[in-house]
Amino acid sequence: MEKAKISAYQLFVLIFLFEMGSALLVPLAGEAKQAAWLVILIAMIGGFLLFFIYYGLFQYYPDQLLTEFVKQILGNFLGSIVAFLYILYFIYLSARVLRDFGDTLLTFAYPHIPLFFANAVFMSVVVYTVRKGVEVLVRTGELFFVLENLLLMTFMLLIIASGMIHLNNLKPIFEISGTEMMKMGFTKIVFFPFGEVIVFLMIFPYLKEPQRLKKIGIGSLATSGIFLAIIMAVNVAVLGVDLTTRSQYPILTLIQSIEVAGFLERLDVYFLFLLMIGGFIKLSVFTYVAVTGTANIFNVKQPSKLAYPVGMIILLISIIIASSYTEHINEGLGAVPHYIHLPFQVIIPLLLLSIAFFKNRKKGRQAPK
C-alpha cells in the first residue's frame, strides 16, 4: 500500500469526476423517455445503498485495501482468489472505458486514425500519471474539477440563452409506471455509474479524515447524480425523446445545436474537453487500483513498476473486447450489468459484509472485559 494521504475535498472531487466520466456520453435511462431524469435519481438512491455496504466494509477494515481485507474475511486461499477476481474486474472495466473513449474520439474528431493508436496515446498518459501515485492523481483531479464545472455552467448558460429549452418535451413524466422506473433504476442504472464506486475501496484507506467518509461518499454521489439527471432532462427538453434516444452521443448533438446571436455556434470543443476530462480520470482511477491491487496480491514492493505491463494488458483488451462499437455498447448494456456488475458490486460485497459482521461480533464477545 502506497504511503500517501488525500484530503476529504480531494476524495469528493475524485468520486464526482469518476461518476460523471463516461456517463456524460450515453443517454442514461433513455428507454424511460421523459422520465429518464427521474430514473437516474432513483438509481442514485440505489447507489447510496450500495455505498453503505462498501462503507460498512471500510469501517471494519479502515487501514486495509479491498485486496487485503478479503483475505481477513475469507481466509488467505479463498480471499486471494476473490482479490484476484476483483483485479480482473477492474482491468476489464478499464478496458471498457478506454474503448468507450477511443471509439468516441474516432467517431467525433479523428475518423482516419487507427483505434489502437488512439487508445495507445491515451493510455500512455494515464500510465504516466498512475506511476506518480494517488496524490498526483487527486491533484490533477482538482484542476479538472474546476475546468469541468466551468464548462458545464457555461454550457447550461448558452443553452438557456439560445432559447432551445422546451419544457413540453418533458411531458408526460409518468408515461411509464413507477414500478417500471424502479425496476429500470435498480437493475440497470444503479450499476453504471453509481455502483462502480466500489473501486474506491482501494482508495478510501488513503483518506486523512476517515470519519468524514460517509458525508463525502453520499455528497459526491448525490452531486454527480443530480448533475446527470439535469443534463438528461436538458437533453430531452431540447432534442425531444426520439432524437435523444436515437443519438449516439446526445450531449454532442445538444452542443452542436447551440446558436447564440447568430454567430456563437459549433461549440464541439466543449464536448472534446468533457470527453478528455471524464475519460482520463475514470481510466486513471481504474488503472491505479488495478496496479495497486496487483502489487498487493503478488507482494511487489514498488507498484509503479507494474504500471506499464498492466497498461499494456488494458490496451490490448480494449482492442479485442468487441469487433465494433455497436457490439461493445450492446454488451455493456446487456450482459455486463447482470453477469459482471451484479456479483462484483452487490452479491460479493454483501457476503463479505455479512461474514465480517459475524466475525467481528464473535471477537467482541471473546474479548476480555
pLDDT at 275 (0 to 100): 84
Average pLDDT over residues 117-125: 94
pLDDT at 262 (0 to 100): 62
pLDDT at 42 (0 to 100): 95
Average pLDDT over residues 308-332: 90
Q: What whole-number distance in Å separates Cα of residue 50 and Cα of residue 45?
A: 9
Average pLDDT over residues 348-364: 88
pLDDT at 4 (0 to 100): 86
Query: What residue spans of the chain are helical by DSSP H?
Result: 8-20, 36-60, 66-74, 76-108, 115-132, 134-162, 178-184, 213-246, 250-256, 268-297, 307-320, 325-333, 335-336, 348-366
pLDDT at 367 (0 to 100): 44
- 369: confidence class by pLDDT, cuts 50, 70, 90: very low
- 81: confidence class by pLDDT, cuts 50, 70, 90: very high
Answer yes or no: is pLDDT of 368 > 50: no
Answer yes or no: is pLDDT of 364 > 80: no
Half-sphere exposure of 211 (CA within 13 A, CB side): 0
- 363: confidence class by pLDDT, cuts 50, 70, 90: low
pLDDT at 266 (0 to 100): 66
Q: Per residue in 12-50, pLDDT tens?
A: 999 999 999 888 888 888 888 899 999 999 999 999 999
Average pLDDT over residues 276-300: 94
What is the pTM assigned to this prediction?
0.94
Average pLDDT over residues 301-306: 90
SS3 231: helix
Answer yes or no: is pLDDT of 366 > 60: no
Average pLDDT over residues 242-255: 85
Distance of CA 149 to the CA centre of its chain: 17
Residue count of the chain: 369
